Amino acid sequence: MAHSRVHKDRGELRIHESLDELGTDLAEYIAELSEASVKERGVFAIAISGGSLIGLMGKLCEAPYHKTVDWAKWYIFWADERVVGKTHADSNYKLAKDGLLSKVPVVPSHVNSINDSVSAEEAADDYEFHIRQLVKTRTINVSDNSDCPKFDLILLGMGPDGHVASLFPNHPMLDEKSEWVTFITDSPKPPPERITFTLPVINSASNVAVVVTGESKAEAVHLAIDDVGPDYLSLPARLVQPTKGKLVWFLDKPAASKLDGFQFSE
């Protein structure tokens, strides 16, 4: 059974006994947000990352969600993407298509992938322009307190170094305030060229969920959530702090094992 608690500064923590339990809870969470958003706005604008996150979303392809979710109202975006071809093994688009999107009845034209035939800088500019057009039509909502897009849900993973999307520790892109989508050509993880949402966009979302599993990320989870002093305030995952939206952490036991006060009854 999952343990849920609210951290005074860092949102809701949902800690799960197993990956299967986490996947079940994550699917229910996404389905509920989708239903609420479609009821309120007529659409559900969701941005996802790559990595193990897609696999953990897999229960959305199963009963009851493959039939109860209003897939035709989903508009899908990438919070970050590797600037490689759509059939390349490193492509987040390919990962999402193979693991999720090809198994549910999404509308192909609602899947908003990047232009992979241009440079990283051009791909970022192109993606931002595309998002701006959809904000104008309110397919994507607009933030209450800035001109940023207000996605209904942004789903993020986190690396052992505390990076989220393609925002890496000590990288100048953490300070980007004016762009919605930026690019990097020196990613510490291959491939080096990527586009990524900036922190203002991530923090303007109605809902942000950070999904983290595995013992290798336990220290980064501790530094991202616990009260650890000023030295770690610039950790990318710690900078995820929705201005008016809700933040939820989906963790398995190994990822949560170094949290202050962590106890999980056997």
What is the pLDDT at residue 117?
Answer: 94
What is the pLDDT at residue 230?
Answer: 77
Compute the chain's Rg from CA coordinates: 17
Asked whether residue 159 is domain-assigned, the answer is yes
- Give the span between the Cα atoms of 56 and 21, in whole angstroms: 10
Asked whether residue 3 is domain-assigned, the answer is no
- Containing structural domain, residue 169: 15-256
What is the pLDDT at residue 247?
Answer: 98
Asked whether residue 5 is domain-assigned, the answer is no
Asked whether residue 30 is domain-assigned, the answer is yes
pLDDT in tens, 213-249: 999 999 999 999 998 877 777 899 999 999 999 999 9
Q: Which bin fits 51, alpha (ψ -120 to 50), beta or left (φ > 0)?
A: left
User: What is this structure's pTM?
Assistant: 0.96
Instruction: Kindly indicate the confidence band of residue 84, based on its pLDDT and cuts at 50, 70 and 90.
Output: very high
What is the pLDDT at residue 266?
Answer: 42
Partner residues linked to 154 by β-bridges: 47, 208
Asked whether residue 7 is domain-assigned, the answer is no
Instruction: Kindly indicate the confidence band of residue 90, based on its pLDDT and cuts at 50, 70 and 90.
Output: very high
Report the DSSP pairing between strands 74-78 and 44-48: parallel
pLDDT in tens, 99-145: 999 999 999 999 999 999 999 999 999 999 999 999 999 999 999 88
Asked whether residue 10 is domain-assigned, the answer is no
What is the pLDDT at residue 229?
Answer: 78
Asked whether residue 9 is domain-assigned, the answer is no
pLDDT in tens, 22-67: 999 999 999 999 999 999 999 999 999 988 999 999 999 999 999 9
pLDDT in tens, 147-156: 899 999 999 9
- Give the span between the Cα atoms of 139 and 15, in whole angstroms: 33
Q: CATH number of the domain that 231 lies in?
A: 3.40.50.1360
| Total domain count, the chain | 1
What is the pLDDT at residue 114?
Answer: 97
Asked whether residue 2 is domain-assigned, the answer is no
In the predicted model, what is the mean pLDDT of residues 9-28?
95
What is the pLDDT at residue 264?
Answer: 57
Measured CA angle at 127 (ends 124, 131), to 5 deg: 135
Tokens of 222: 């501790």
What is the pLDDT at residue 253?
Answer: 96
What is the pLDDT at residue 99?
Answer: 94
Residue 172 has pLDDT above 60, yes or no: yes
